[in-house]
Amino acid sequence: MTLFRKLVILFSVVILGTLSATLTIVYFKSRESIIDLSKEKAVSIVQTIDSALLSDVPDYQFESVLLNLKRQNPDLVSFDIYKLNDFLYDIASTDPRRIGSQASPSSTIALGERKILTSLEGSTIDLVVPLTGYAGMQYSANVRLSIAADLASLKGLLTDILVAGACALLVAVACAWLFTRQVLSKPLQSMMDAANEIAAGNFSVTLDASRRKDELGSLARSFERMARSLQQLIAQMGETAEELYSDFKQLIENGDYTAHGALHMADVLQHVRDGIERVMANVRQLDGQIAEAAAGTGGTRRSRASEPDFEPMQRTVNRLMEDLNQVMRDLDGLSTTARGQLSAVQQVNRTAGRLSERASELHQLMTSFEV
């Protein structure tokens, strides 16, 4: 569900809830007012015969008065006057069949408590009013008024309000639909389309909403600035990727050259070591021959004056062998260092190769964005 539909639904629910609450309040307040007015009307009707009771009018004349009141008030359902004489009995009524009947318990309660009792049954209001007539005689007036006509008028009024509210609701929903679509949904949809264009690599986006002076216009202008900044950033990243690619390529070439040099140096050192080993072998052979010669000479019986002195030669040969051994150890150290450098350079070359591949991929990606 799109955003503007959600807003329209929310707006409709709020208006419908407000209309329902208004109709409910109007109905109950109007009903309460109708009931209060009917009570006041019933009390005013009772007051019309109160003076007659005080003037000691004969009981039989009240019937014509009540019938006249009923003709004048169409909402008057019944009017009964009860007189207390040992018990409450009906002395006048709009219904002659009830004359002489005993009053209801509510009339006795009203006389005992000296207050007006009211009750509502459907659309009919019952009032029991205690009265004092001539010479302190106690009376009770029971009045029944119908409020059906007033309630029907109220329902008609509420129906008119409901129809007007429904029309207003439809107009409001239509206005909300147009407002949310033109003011909110359309600019946001254009921004979504622009975002998709940016994702596809097109940074030259222009939004119509940027000419607006409200928050959406400010958002659209910020969106356009963001697109231009992204375009500049990606261009800079492309240049950096190209530079990285060139640098890594040069690093690989230099690493290869260094690796070949280290390998060549290791080969030369190995050849030198082999030559020194051959020299040492010859020196050992010479040392053995000198030793044999010295032993053979010592076995003859020549005079000591004529014997050759082999000890200086042996010492010289020993020093030469020690020097050759030291040179061998130094060459072994150089060879180990060369092999270590060769391994390190090869590791650097492998790492540089992987970084070069990544730089190439980044360069291709930036090129696709620029296109």
Report whether pLDDT(356) > 60: yes
User: Residues 55-100: pLDDT tens digits?
Assistant: 766 777 777 877 888 888 888 888 888 888 777 887 888 888 888 8
pLDDT score of 288? 74
Assign domain 228-298+307-370 to its CATH architecture: Orthogonal Bundle (1.10)
Taking the C-alpha atoms of residue 216 and residue 218, their distance in angstroms, rounded to an integer, is 5
Name the strand (E) or helix (H) holding 60: none
Q: Which tens digit of pLDDT belongs to each residue from 109-142?
A: 888 888 888 888 888 888 888 888 776 778 888 8
Pick the residue with more confidence: 134 or 152? 152
Predicted local distance difference test score (pLDDT) of residue 310: 63
State what percent of residues in the chain have pLDDT above 70. Answer: 83
For residue 370, what pLDDT is reported? 54
Band the pLDDT of 302: cuts 50, 70, 90.
very low
Coil, strand or helix: which one is 145?
strand
pLDDT-derived band at 101 (thresholds 50, 70, 90) equals confident
pLDDT tens-digit map of 159-168: 888 888 888 8
Does 331 have pLDDT greater than 60?
Answer: yes
Q: Which of 139-153, 271-285, 320-334 has the highest mean pLDDT?
A: 139-153
pLDDT at res. 164: 84
Q: Tell me how far apart the alpha carbons of residues 267 and 274 are, in angstroms, rounded to a whole number.
A: 11
- Residue 104, number of CB atoms within 10 A of its CB: 16
Quote the longest CA-to-CA distance of the chain: 198
**What's the mean pLDDT in 245-263?**
71
Q: Where in the chain is the domain with CATH 1.10.287?
A: 228-298+307-370
pLDDT at 371 over 60: no
CA atoms within 13 A on the CB side of 278: 5
Give start-end residues of each CATH 3.30.450.20 domain in the chain: 3-170
pLDDT value for 55: 72
- Token digits for 351? 């790492």
Which pLDDT does position 6 carry in this prediction? 73
By C-alpha distance, which of 142, 90, 353, 364 is closest to 238?
364
Angle at the Cα of 298 (from 294 to 302), degrees rounded to 5? 125
Tens-digit pLDDT profile for residues 221-245: 887 788 888 778 877 777 777 777 7
Mean pLDDT of 165-194: 77
Class of domain 3-170 as given by CATH: alpha beta
How far is Cα 31 from Cα 35, in angstroms, rounded to an integer? 6
Are 46 and 143 in contact by the 8 Å Cβ rule? The answer is yes
Edge-to-edge strands, sheet with 76-85: 87-93, 76-85, 138-146, 124-132, 117-121
Are 153 and 84 in contact by the 8 Å Cβ rule? The answer is: no
Q: For residues 346-355, give the mean pLDDT.
A: 73
Distance, C-alpha 56 to centroid of its chain: 83
